[in-house]
Structure 1
Amino acid sequence: MLAATLRAMERDGLVTRTAYDENPPRVEYELTPLGHSLMLLVEAARSWSKDHLPALLEARAAHEAAGRT
């Protein structure tokens, strides 16, 4: 799943992939400028998650207590 996600991100111009001819093989991924432009959104999501984590955990516990999966 990770490999498929990274391939899709490379296809969309969000990361670059560099493969090294080593043993064992090594590959590095780096954000492109387009990928870096998403960091504001990632930070906003992280901040929202931090602010709302107690409510999320409470909702999850209530859902599980009700026997729903």
Structure 2
Amino acid sequence: MKFGSKLHAYAIPEWRAAYIRYGALKALIKRYQRELAAAEYRHNAASQKEIQRSLQTAKVRTQEDTRK
């Protein structure tokens, strides 16, 4: 038996209204995990582009210095 089912099955009737909505909480956590992963991906992609720009700039400067 899974936790959500156990929580529901063993709930004390007088306290049912105060119990956490486990299914909703689980869905919310999964949504935040997906959003965090997407934000991380966007951040990493932006960082990668910045690194590539920096390397290209350094390469151009090096080529200019060797021409002098």
TM > 0.5 fold call: no
Q: Which structure has greater strand proportion? A: 1
**Structure 2 length as normaliser, TM-score?**
0.29
Greater Rg over alpha carbons, structure: 2
Greater RCO (CA < 8 Å, at least 6 residues apart): 2
